[in-house]
């Protein structure tokens, strides 16, 4: 009942692990796969190891968390070893980042054949060295990166968009015209900040970070809704999902699959099985036979 197909990739349900949460090692990715996710996405990685920012890198705020991890990762060659240890029980997506089209294409080339799809992170609000949202705020640069990666790999290429733009449809359309296979939206919102009332200092070492969790869901939904009306490629919704009702909202807005990040921090990896049980019950009650039937219903 919950099976979907995303860019010809078969998934047993529409839930996916979002990049950056439990996605650094094969052990944690396999754990999420065993817990019921329909697909897994790695933490974003680059060409060379990156230590990221010093602690504190995350802080809880009303409605979610703010993080400025700075894309810490062990680099493509080390991640490749982890990818070889994946159980293969569910499709795996590699999230990659870089500073320019060439860097993205080199990384994509090195993991070609190791994963079912590649997600281009052009949207991190706290990345170092011009690797973040500055790319995803520029339609031309985003398109150049999509083209460079598509020239190197045969697997589907997703582009993860930032909500921190004047017009997300412009960026989505540029990515689609450049040949991307799906759009993932949204990356964390902001940057935002939290200040310690005792010390009067920003709490995060980077001072600013990306906001995630339930508070950003209305914005993520609006982004999916707007882009659904403008593009033909499938959309993967992400932002603030903690239960099956959140997933339903994303499907109605036009998403075909939905990723969960911060929700795992609240509920653990069991959240995937809980969401699927909730979806199945809802669909049985309403008489839906497939997830596909619910996609885009809010537009009718
Ligand atoms: C701790 C943390 C680390 C993240 N790291 C990444 C990352 O490496 N790459 C990426 O594309 N998004 C990253 N994200 C963003 C999430 O994938 C997701 O787009 C965002 O958090 C909104 O979804 P959520 O509200 O379900 O967390 C990270 C989010 C969090 C909370």
- Determine the distance separating the centroid of ligand 1 and the alpha carbon of 42, expressed in angstroms: 11
- Determine whether the shortest distance from the Cβ of 43 to ligand 1 is under 6 A: yes
Please indicate, yes or no, whether the overall pTM of this predicted structure exceeds 0.85. yes
Per-residue pLDDT of the chain (300 residues; tens, 9 = 90+): 999 999 999 999 999 999 999 999 999 999 999 999 999 999 999 999 999 999 999 999 999 999 999 899 999 999 999 999 999 999 999 999 999 999 999 999 999 999 999 999 998 877 777 777 888 899 999 999 999 999 999 999 999 999 999 999 999 999 999 999 999 999 999 999 999 999 999 999 999 999 999 999 999 999 999 999 999 999 999 999 999 999 999 999 999 999 999 999 999 999 999 999 999 999 999 999 999 999 999 998
Mutate-to-test residue for ligand 1 from 67, 161, 168, 212, highest number of ligand atoms within 8 A of CB: 212
Task: Look up residue 195 and give its DSSP letter.
Answer: B
Tokens 């998403």, located at residue:
255
Which residues are known to be catalytic? 124
- Determine whether the shortest distance from the Cβ of 262 to ligand 1 is under 6 A: yes
- Determine whether the shortest distance from the Cβ of 213 to ligand 1 is under 6 A: yes
- Determine the distance separating the centroid of ligand 1 and the alpha carbon of 262, expressed in angstroms: 7
Please state, as a whole number, how many other Cβ atoms lie within 10 Å of the Cβ of residue 100. Answer: 14
Helices 244-253 and 271-286 pack at an angle, to 10 degrees, of 60
- Determine whether the shortest distance from the Cβ of 15 to ligand 1 is under 6 A: no
Output the 3-class SS for 105-165. Answer: HHHHHHHCCCCCEEEEECCCCCCCCCCCHHHHCCHHHHHHHHHHHHHHCCCCEEEEECCCC
**Which CATH number is 4-299 given?**
3.20.20.70
Per domain, the residue ranges of the chain are 4-299
Mutate-to-test residue for ligand 1 from 127, 243, 261, 268, highest number of ligand atoms within 8 A of CB: 261
- Determine whether the shortest distance from the Cβ of 125 to ligand 1 is under 6 A: no
Atom of ligand 1 nearest to the CA of 238: 23
**Nearest residue CA, atom 2 of ligand 1?**
20
**Token couple for 132:** 């973040």
Beta bridge partner(s), residue 120: 96, 159
Cis ω for the linkage preceding 191 (within 30 of 0): yes
- Determine whether the shortest distance from the Cβ of 57 to ligand 1 is under 6 A: no
Beta bridge partner(s), residue 41: 93
Atom of ligand 1 nearest to the CA of 216: 25
């Amino acid at each position: 009942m919950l099976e979907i197909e995303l860019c010809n990739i078969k998934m047993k349900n529409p839930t996916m692990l979002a990049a950056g949460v439990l996605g650094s090692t094969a052990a944690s990715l396999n754990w999420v796969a065993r817990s019921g996710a329909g697909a897994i996405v790695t933490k974003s990685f680059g060409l060379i190891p990156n230590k990221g920012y010093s602690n504190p890198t995350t802080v809880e705020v009303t409605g979610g968390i703010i993080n400025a991890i700075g894309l810490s990762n062990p680099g493509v060659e080390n991640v490749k070893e982890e990818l070889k240890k994946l159980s293969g029980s569910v499709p795996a997506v590699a999230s990659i980042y870089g500073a320019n089209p060439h860097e993205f294409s080199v990384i994509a080339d090195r993991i070609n054949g190791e994963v079912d799809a590649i997600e281009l992170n052009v949207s991190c609000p706290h990345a170092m060295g011009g690797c973040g949202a500055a790319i995803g705020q520029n339609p031309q640069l985003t398109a150049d990166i999509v083209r460079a990666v598509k020239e190197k790999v045969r697997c589907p290429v997703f582009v993860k968009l930032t909500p921190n733009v004047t017009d997300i449809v412009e960026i989505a359309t540029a990515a689609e015209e450049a040949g991307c296979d799906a759009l993932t939206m949204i990356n964390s919102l902001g940057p935002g900040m939290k200040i310690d009332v005792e010390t009067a200092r920003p709490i995060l070492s980077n001072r600013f970070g990306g906001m995630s969790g339930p508070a950003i869901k209305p914005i993520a939904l609006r982004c999916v809704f707007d882009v659904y009306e403008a593009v033909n490629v499938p959309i993967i919704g992400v932002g603030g999902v903690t239960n099956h009702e959140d997933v339903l909202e994303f499907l109605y807005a036009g998403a075909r699959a939905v990723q969960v990040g911060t929700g795992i921090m609240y509920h653990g990896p069991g959240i995937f099985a809980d969401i699927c049980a909730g979806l199945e019950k809802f669909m049985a009650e309403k008489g839906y036979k497939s997830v596909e039937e619910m996609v885009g219903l809010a537009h009718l």
